[in-house]
């Protein structure tokens, strides 16, 4: 999608952090954007920011819990009624859940996977059929994490599980949606200045009663931004470039390359030598190469 002027985008987690960075860059590129977020205060602040930038006519906000499928339907109904189409879908909402896997309960897994993975599933099931029906092509961006391709940090089993699944989901959709003129990108961010540290306070009541992560673990996860963490506008610009160039992988921090190399070297070294060359050739024909651009 090289021409974005006048096109429409929908962004979950769009009122702060990386989501807001993406929204600002897409609006500057001429798009109309609906930002959806669970936090009313973040939505109000984001809309006030766009007002101050003289961009308020290009942005609307909707309160949305990404585990709420009816809420997604209301967002889709509104954006299609007002703008008639969605050309760019950005599934960005996420929570930074952390704690020992031995302490995790069903509530912790259900919350972490329900938001980080299930939120993207809900976005796809809501918007993809409409994007296909409008026959205008488009692009889908999924926010994963560098935790999907580097050794994940300690106490991040739930988070890393969801983020690895998002990367695999995006890769699997790539060729299938290309047949419909829809590009796909997976954003793999490192540390950015975001509000993910406040995620614990957004945990819905149904996921709190039997949580194993009540105090210390979530306090440790709620770390403050470091001075050298990146500006979300940088991620927004990288996403814009990926949309225009139909780039599959969007990796924000080259500083983590060595960690990824260590992980993939370990994976490659675990492969045994093929026992039967003909069988290896036959198996290779069943797998399509990943097209990154």
What amino acid positions are annotated as catalytic residues?
A: 159
Residues 97/111, Cβ–Cβ less than 8 Å: yes
Distance from C-alpha of 53 to C-alpha of 35, rounded to nearest angstrom: 16
What is the spatial distance between Cα 195 and Cα 41, in angstroms, rounded to a whole number? 12
Do 111 and 155 contact (CB within 8 A), yes or no?
Answer: no
What are residue 183's DSSP bridge partners?
Answer: 139
C-alpha 288: how far from its chain's center?
24
The terminus-to-terminus CA distance of the chain in angstroms comes to 12
* DSSP 8-state symbol, 151: P
What is the torsion angle, in degrees rounded to the nearest 10, for the CA atoms of residue 50, residue 241, residue 35 and residue 51?
Answer: 10
- Give φ, ψ of 183 to 5 degrees: -85, 165
The CA dihedral of 111, 117, 120, 121, to the nearest 10 degrees, is: -100
Alpha helices in 29-142 (DSSP H): 40-52, 69-83, 106-116, 118-134
**Do 211 and 115 form a contact (C-beta atoms < 8 A)?**
no
d(CA 168, CA 148): 9
């Amino acid at each position: 999608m090289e021409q974005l002027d006048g096109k429409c985008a929908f962004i979950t987690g769009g009122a702060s952090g990386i989501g807001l960075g993406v929204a600002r860059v897409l609006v500057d590129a001429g798009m109309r954007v609906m930002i959806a977020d669970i936090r009313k205060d973040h939505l109000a602040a984001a809309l006030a920011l766009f007002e101050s930038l003289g961009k308020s006519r290009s942005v609307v906000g909707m309160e949305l819990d990404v585990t709420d499928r009816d809420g997604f339907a209301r967002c889709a109904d509104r954006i299609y009624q007002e703008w008639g189409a969605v050309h760019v879908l950005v599934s960005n909402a996420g929570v930074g859940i952390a704690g020992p896997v031995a302490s995790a309960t069903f509530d912790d897994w259900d919350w972490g996977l329900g938001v980080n993975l299930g939120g993207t599933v809900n976005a796809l099931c809501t918007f993809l059929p409409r994007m296909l029906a409008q026959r205008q092509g488009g692009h889908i961006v999924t926010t994963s994490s560098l935790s999907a391709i580097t050794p994940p940090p300690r106490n991040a089993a739930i988070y890393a599980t969801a983020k690895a699944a998002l990367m695999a989901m995006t890769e699997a959709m790539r060729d299938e949606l290309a047949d419909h003129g829809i590009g796909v990108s997976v954003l793999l961010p490192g540390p950015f200045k975001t509000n993910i540290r406040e995620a614990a306070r957004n945990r819905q009541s149904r996921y709190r009663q039997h949580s194993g992560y009540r105090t210390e673990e979530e306090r440790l996860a709620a770390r403050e931004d470091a001075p050298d963490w990146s500006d979300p506008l940088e991620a927004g610009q990288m996403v814009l470039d990926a949309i225009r160039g139909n780039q599959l992988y969007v990796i924000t921090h080259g500083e983590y390359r060595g960690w990824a190399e260590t992980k993939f070297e370990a994976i490659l070294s675990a492969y045994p030598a093929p026992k039967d060359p003909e069988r290896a050739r036959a198996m290779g024909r069943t797998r399509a190469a990943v097209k990154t651009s």
